[in-house]
Chain A
């Protein structure tokens, strides 16, 4: 079955370390997104990519970086510059412009 795979599901990091979250999709979708979710808040957009080798900053891009070298893959790096990285991270993709998103199961990052 087609879908989005995020890994790892749980990740612990020491302060000052960079960490990369993986997101792979086999839905043949052009657009991919990274969201951050904190308790009691909606989803906030970190980065998105509508085509290979191109990506755009979302609302909270500071301290994060991405790449889009393949259509299927959109990894997110949480850098040491991110002040408060402990959160639940969700990757999504879409095949159209209308907002119908398909989500992975998320990665929970905890900074110790």
Chain B
């Protein structure tokens, strides 16, 4: 079965430090890949997406992610985090050529920022 794994439930980093959130997926072909962010009590907002082409994608708020086909990974990175980045981050996958109804979300990684 297709799945999305975010191995880190909770991560704490210091303000100004770099960040990497991990995401691995299980799917035979190249899927569409997404990262969403959710502030407490709010809906989700799209950070970035990968459909095809350049495997390093830039998103909003200074985030980027790199698709590595050989590792079935789509890790999210930010060179220097800000206190406002504290939130929950969800990786999501849509099997290629499927509709959004087939999207699979990871269980999320909660990011805390240490002052």
A56 partner residues in chain B, CB cutoff 8 A: 101
> Contact residues of B with A, CB < 8 Å?
4, 9, 32, 34, 36, 41-46, 49, 51, 90, 92-94, 98-108
Residue of A whose beta carbon sits closest to that of B101: A48
Interface residues on A, range: 20 to 34
A45 & B101 in contact (Cβ 8 Å cutoff): yes
Q: Which residues of B contact A6 (CB under 8 A)?
A: 43
Quote the shortest CB–CB distance from A30 to chain B (angstroms): 11
* Cross-chain contact A98 with B32 (CB below 8 angstroms): yes
A residues lining the B interface (CB < 8 Å) = 4, 6, 31, 33, 40-43, 45, 48, 50, 56, 58, 90, 92, 94, 96-106, 108
| Chain A residues with CB below 8 A from B32, complex form | 98-99
- Which residues of chain A are within 8 angstroms of B105 by Cβ–Cβ distance? 42-43
CA distance A66 to B62 in the complex (A): 38
Residue of A nearest to B102 (CB): A99
